[in-house]
Amino acid sequence: MEVVIVPDAKAGGELIAEAMAALLRRKPDALLGVATGSTPLPVYEALSAKVRSGAVDASRARVCQLDEYVGLPADHPESYRSVVLREVVEPLGLTEESFMGPDGTAEDVQAACEEYDRALPAAGGVDLQLLGIGTDGHIGFNEPCSSLASRTRIKTLTEQTRVDNARFFDGDIDQVPHHVITQGIGTILEARHLVLLATGEGKADAVAASVEGPVSALVPASALQLHPHATVVVDEAAASKLKLADYFRATYAAKPAWQGL
């Protein structure tokens, strides 16, 4: 696992966007796994700026969803399909045909989970999966004590996650669904490159537990320690509880430029 400490969220967004751009230059039809929420917005803003400037051609890129609420209509402004279309697909100049996601409105939700889990490897697998981290260490919607071998499935959100997400529903927790479809930890670990972005002091404990603590289902993001190519990008605030922060800074400073992210 590589840990990169950056000054702020904007710098983290630019760093990850350049890694995505480099991937698209090598593999124009790469499948990018995207996360939702406020944390990854600087990544999408920086990548779309590169597309607009001509620094990278994303016209053949494909985008896949990490998770989805169960029961929200697909056109609801806070369904993750709507969010990804609005924040990623449209700014990159892509069409809905380039987009993959689970069906949170399916009559048989379990079958929809299994179908999406099969669709990802059938599409060639995820080349780079962007992740956020919850204050309790969750990735995707894999809440604490999720199986580290779990596949795409239905999950019940914790009260804390619903409280955290209420800000997207006018602060009304009653509007936040109780259930979601999420890629499982085992599914996530199949991506070729995992990139976790965390910003703000509120994520510091979760980052420290994930990076420096034991691999544990209690801290789902700690599963990234098992991946051969996992990168954790954190701002100074989110890095504030890392015991090895100075080592991580020195290691990244000495990294050859040709290695990339």
Q: Is 136 assigned a catalytic role?
A: yes
Q: Where are the alpha helices (DSSP H) in 123-225?
A: 159-165, 185-188, 204-212
Q: What is the largest CA-CA distance in the chain?
A: 53
**d(Cα 134, Cα 231) in Å, to the nearest integer?**
17
Q: Which residues contact 174 (CB under 8 A, 6 or more apart)?
A: none
Q: Are strands 128-131 and 153-156 parallel, antiparallel or unpaired?
A: unpaired
Catalytic, out of 136, 164, 193, 235: 136
Distances 136 to 19, 119, 133, 159, 170 between C-alpha atoms, Å: 27, 29, 8, 11, 23
Tokens standing for residue 154: 């239905």
Catalytic, out of 18, 67, 68, 87: 67
Q: Is 14 assigned a catalytic role?
A: no
Catalytic, out of 127, 138, 164, 193: 138
Catalytic, out of 68, 87, 143, 235: 143
Q: What are phi and psi of 228, to 5 degrees?
A: -70, -20
Work out the angle at residue 45's Cα, subtended by the Cα atoms of residues 9 and 131, and round it to the nearest 5 degrees.
60
Closest CA to 212 of 251, 249, 189, 243: 243
Q: Are strands 153-156 and 179-182 parallel, antiparallel or unpaired?
A: antiparallel
Amino acid identity of residue 115, one-letter, is E
**d(Cα 216, Cα 69) in Å, to the nearest integer?**
25
As annotated, the active-site residues are: 67, 136, 138, 143
